[in-house]
Amino acid sequence: MNIIYLLDLIGTFTFAVSGALAASNRRFDLFGALFIGFVTAVGGGTTRDVILGLTPVFWIKDISYLIVIVSAVVFTLIFSRKIAALEKPLLFFDAIGIGVFTLIGVEKSTALEILPIFAILMGVLTAVMGGVLRDVFVYEIPLIFRKEIYATACFVGGIVYFSLFYFEMNKSVVYFITMLVIIAMRLLSLKFQISLPKVGVDKQ
**pLDDT tens digits for range 164-200:** 999 999 999 999 999 999 999 999 998 888 887 766 6
77-130 pLDDT tens trace? 898 877 777 657 767 888 888 999 999 999 999 999 999 999 999 999 999 999
In a domain, 90, yes or no: yes
HEC per residue, 168-196: CCCHHHHHHHHHHHHHHHHHHHHHCCCEC
In a domain, 116, yes or no: yes
Q: How many domains does the chain have?
A: 1
In a domain, 196, yes or no: no
In a domain, 106, yes or no: yes
pLDDT at residue 204 tops 60: no
Q: Are 24 and 134 in contact (CB under 8 A)?
A: no
- pLDDT recorded at residue 80: 80
Average pLDDT, the chain: 90
Q: Are 186 and 18 in contact (CB under 8 A)?
A: no
- Pure H helices in 53-150: 63-78, 80-84, 89-111, 116-137
3-state secondary structure of 200: coil
Q: 140, exposed or middle or buried, with CB in 10 Å at 0-12, 13-18, 19+?
A: middle
The pLDDT > 90 percentage for the chain reads 69
* pTM, to two decimals: 0.90
In a domain, 63, yes or no: yes
In a domain, 125, yes or no: yes
Pick from 47, 18, 20: nearest CA to 32? 20
What is the residue range of 32's domain?
A: 3-191
Pick from 146, 138, 141: nearest CA to 25? 138
